[in-house]
A and B are shown apart, each in its own frame.
Chain A
C-alpha cells in the first residue's frame, strides 16, 4: 500500500474516536415504537402505502418513492401501524415532520424477500432496479437515494467506483467499526455496485488513522480475490471524506463545479451504503437498520450500536448508560457539520451516523466576534479553495455579484474556515444565510433569460408566419390575376 494521499486544504482535527471504538458493535434492542419520517432522504418525500391499523412485518415496504429522486421505506419492526402524523424528526433538528409510527409486537416476523445467490447472473440494469427496491440512500450523511445515483452514472464507460471509508468528521466511528467487523459485506457490496455500474475499477479509500479497519479490509479483499478492487489510504485531514475532496485526493481530478462525479468517470458511495447493498442483494434484507456511533462526554458508555431505523434517540442513550450530568448539547453527525437536535425524542433516520451527547468539554465555546483581520487562515484551510473572508465581506453587504464572483455556491459548509478564524466569526452560518438569496437571484436571472429567449423566438416565429402568409396571399392573387387574363 502506498503512502496516504491528500487533497489541498483542510484541517488536522482531534479525531475523538478512541472512546467509541473500544467495544465491538452491539445490537440495540428493537424499539417499542418505531417512528419513520417520510422525508428522511434527499429529494422528494416518500408516499405511505400502509394505513393506520394495518399489520406489517419486519422488512415490509411501508412507503413508496414519489418521484425518481425518492426512496422506499420499510418497516424496521413487526407490528401495527398506529399513526401517520407529524413527529419530532431528526432531519429537521427535532421539529415535527410527517412520519409513520409502528408499534412493536415483539415477534420480529420477517417479510421474506428473495436473496440473490449470484448477482453476476443479473443484467446490470436489472440489478440497479433491484437495488432500488431496498430503500438504500447514501448512508454517509447526504442521504441521496442510491438508485438515483446509480442511474445518473449508468451506461457510462470506464467508470471508477470509489467506496468512501474516509470518516473524517471528529467523533464518528461507525464506518470504521463497520470496516473492522463487517469488511466482507463492504467488499461484496462494492463488487455488486461495480457490476451494476459496469465499472472498470473500484477504489476503497480510508483514512490513515484507522489501521485495524485497514487490516480487516485488506484481509477481506484478499478473501474476495477480485483484482479490480484496491485499497487506498488518505491522510486524516478533515474533510478528506467529502465526496469532491476524496475524488481529488484519490484520482487527482476535480469534479466540475457545475457537474457530477460521473462527468469525470467516478461514482462515489459510502462503505455503509455498499454494505447495505450487499445485505439486500445477498440476504434480501432491505435498509431497516444501521450502525450508529453514540459518543461524547455527555453519555456514560460511548460505543457503536446496530440500530433499527426509527428507534428514538433517547432509547439509544439509555442503552449506553444514560446521560452524564455534563451533557449540554445533542448533535446528530459530527461536531463540524452535525446538526444540533432540540429533543432526544427524535428517531434515528437512515442518515444518522452518529449521536454526540456533547459536554462543554467537547464543544469549544465561541468567543465574541471581532471584525475580520484578513489573516487568510480561512483561505488556507478551505477545501474548495475559496476566500471565505471575501465571501464574508460580500455576505455582510449582501453583494450578490461579489458573492457569485467569490464562489459562494461552491462552499461545501465544512466549517474549516469557521474553525480557524481568530476573529471567531460564524462564517458558515453567514454563508448559509446568504446562499438562498444568491440562489434565488441566480434562479431568477436564469428564468428571465429563458423567458426572454422564448419571447424572442416567439416574436420571430410570428413574424415568419406572417411573412409566409403574406407571400402565400401574393401568390394566390397572382394566380387569380393570371386566370383572369
Chain B
C-alpha cells in the first residue's frame, strides 16, 4: 500500500514538473495554464491507466503465462502502455475539447500508465481481473485527484512569499513531503 502511494506521488511529481517546470512542454496545445494542462492529463489518465492495466493483465494471464514467458511482463506492459497512450491521444484529438500536444502528452501518459500499471501487477489482489480493474481505476482517480490538488497547490505557492532558497522545486518537494506525511495516516488501513 505505501509503495503504491509512493509511486502515485512520484508520478504526480513527475507530471507536475513536466507541466510547470519545463518551458514549452505541456500536454495540451490549447492552453499554457498549468492547471488546465493538469485537468487534461488527469482526464486522459482516467481513461488510459485502467485500460492499460486491464489489457496487460489479460495479456499476462492468457498469453505470457501459458507460453511460460512471464518474465517479459514488464517490457510488454511498457509497450501496451505506449500503445494505449497513443490510442488515447487519437481519441482525445477526435472527441475531446482539449487538443493533445506531441510528444508531451503521449510520453507523460505512457510513463504514468506504465509506472502505475507495473506496480499493480505485483499486488496480491490484482490476481483477478475485477481486482485489476478496480485497483487501476482507483489509482487513476487517486492520481487525478492528487495531480489536480498539487497543480492548484502549485498555483497558490506562486503567490506565497516563499524565501528565495525555497522557491520553485524545493518548496514543491517540501509540500509533497508534507502530503506524504498526511498520507501516513492511512498506514495500517489496507493490509500490505
Contact B159 A397 (CB under 8 A): yes
Does residue B161 face the partner (Cβ distance < 8 Å to A)? yes
A396 vs B161: C-alpha distance in the bound complex, in angstroms?
11
Question: Does the CB pair B159–A393 fall under 8 Å?
Answer: yes
Q: What 1/0 flags go to B142-166 for Cβ under 8 Å of A? A: 0000000000000000110100000
**Separation in Å of the B50 CB from the closest CB of chain A?**
33
Which residues of chain B (133-192) have a CB below 8 Å from chain A? 158-159, 161
Number of interface residues, chain B, beta carbon within 8 A: 3
- B119-131 interface mask toward A, CB cutoff 8 Å, 1 = contact, 0 = none? 0000000000000
Number of interface residues of A (CB under 8 A): 5
Prevailing SS type, chain B contact patch: helix
Tell me the residues in window 386-429 of chain A with beta carbons closer than 8 Å to chain B beta carbons: 393-394, 396-397
Which residues of chain A are within 8 angstroms of B161 by Cβ–Cβ distance?
371
Give the distance in Å from the alpha carbon of A397 to the alpha carbon of B161 in the complex.
11
Contact with B along A358-374 (1 / 0, CB 8 A): 00000000000001000
Could you say which residues of chain A place their CB within 8 Å of the CB of B159?
393-394, 396-397
Complex: A397 Cα to B156 Cα, angstroms: 12
CA distance A394 to B158 in the complex (A): 10
Residues of the B chain whose Cβ atoms lie less than 8 Å from the Cβ of A397: 158-159
Q: Within residues 424 to 447 of chain A, which ones have a CB less than 8 A from any CB in chain B?
A: none
A393 to B159, CA, bound (A): 7
For A330-349 the 0/1 string (1 means CB < 8 A from B) is 00000000000000000000
Q: In the complex, what distance in Å separates the CA atom of A393 from the CA atom of B158?
A: 10
A371 surroundings in chain B (CB, below 8 A)? 161
B32 to chain A, nearest CB (A): 11
In the bound assembly, the distance between CA atoms of A397 and B158 in angstroms comes to 9
When distances are taken between beta carbons in the complex, the residues of chain A under 8 Å from B158 are 397
Residue of B nearest to A399 (CB): B159
Interface residues as binary, A23-67 with B (CB distance below 8 Å gives 1, 0 otherwise): 000000000000000000000000000000000000000000000
The chain B residue sitting closest to A394, CB to CB, is B159
- Encode A292-304 as 1/0 by CB contact (under 8 A) with B: 0000000000000
- Complex CA–CA separation, A405 to B159 (angstroms): 16
A394 vs B161: C-alpha distance in the bound complex, in angstroms?
13
What's the Cα separation between A357 and B158 when bound, in Å? Answer: 44
Which B39-53 residues have a C-beta within 8 angstroms of A?
Answer: none
For the complex, give the distance between the alpha carbons of A371 and B162 in Å. Answer: 13
Q: How far is the CA of A394 from the CA of B159 in the complex (A)?
A: 8
Q: Least Cβ distance of B31 to chain A in Å?
A: 11
Distance in angstroms between the alpha carbons of A35 and B159 in the assembled complex: 49
| Nearest B residue (CB) for A401 | B33
How far is B161's CA from A371's CA once the two chains are assembled, in angstroms?
Answer: 9
> From residue B15, how far is it (CB to closest CB) to chain A in Å?
23
A397 and B159 alpha carbons, distance in the complex (Å): 7
Minimum distance in angstroms from B161 CB to a CB of chain A: 7
Name the residue of chain B whose CB is nearest to the CB of A393: B159
Report the nearest A residue to B161, measured CB to CB.
A371
Shortest distance in angstroms between B36's beta carbon and chain A's nearest beta carbon? 11
State how many angstroms separate the Cβ of B84 from the closest Cβ of chain A. Answer: 34
Shortest beta-carbon distance, A187 to chain B, in Å?
A: 53
In the assembled complex, which residues on chain B have CB atoms less than 8 Å from the CB atom of A396?
159
State in angstroms the CA–CA spacing of A472 and B161 once bound together: 69
B156 → chain A, closest Cβ, in Å? Answer: 8
* A394, B155: Cα distance in complex, Å: 11
Q: Bound complex: CA of A393 vs CA of B161, how far in Å?
A: 11
How far is B158's CA from A396's CA once the two chains are assembled, in angstroms? Answer: 12
Please, how many angstroms separate the alpha-carbon atoms of A485 and B165 in the complex? 89
Output the least CB separation between A373 and chain B (Å). 13
Report the minimum CB–CB distance from A427 to chain B (whole Å).
15
Shortest distance between the CB of B33 and any CB in chain A (Å): 8
Closest to A397 in B: B159
Tell me how far the C-beta of A29 lies from the nearest C-beta in chain B, rounded to whole angstroms. Answer: 56
Q: Which residues of chain B have C-beta atoms less than 8 A from A394's C-beta?
A: 159
Q: Which residue of B lies closest to A390 (CB)?
A: B159
What separation, in Å, do the CA atoms of A409 and B30 have in the docked complex? 26
* Chain B min CB distance to A449 (Å): 18
Task: Tell me how far the C-beta of A211 lies from the nearest C-beta in chain B, rounded to whole angstroms.
Answer: 48
Per the bound structure, the CA–CA distance linking A396 and B160 in Å amounts to: 11
Distance in Å: Cβ of A219 to nearest Cβ of chain B: 57
Q: In the complex, what distance in Å separates the CA atom of A228 from the CA atom of B159?
A: 54
Cα distance A396–B159 when bound, in Å? 8
Complex: A295 Cα to B178 Cα, angstroms:
56
Mask, A73-110, CB within 8 Å of B = 1, is 00000000000000000000000000000000000000
Q: List 6 A-B contacts (CB under 8 A).
A: A371-B161, A393-B159, A394-B159, A396-B159, A397-B158, A397-B159
Q: Which 4 A-B pairs have the closest CB atoms?
A: A393-B159, A397-B159, A371-B161, A396-B159
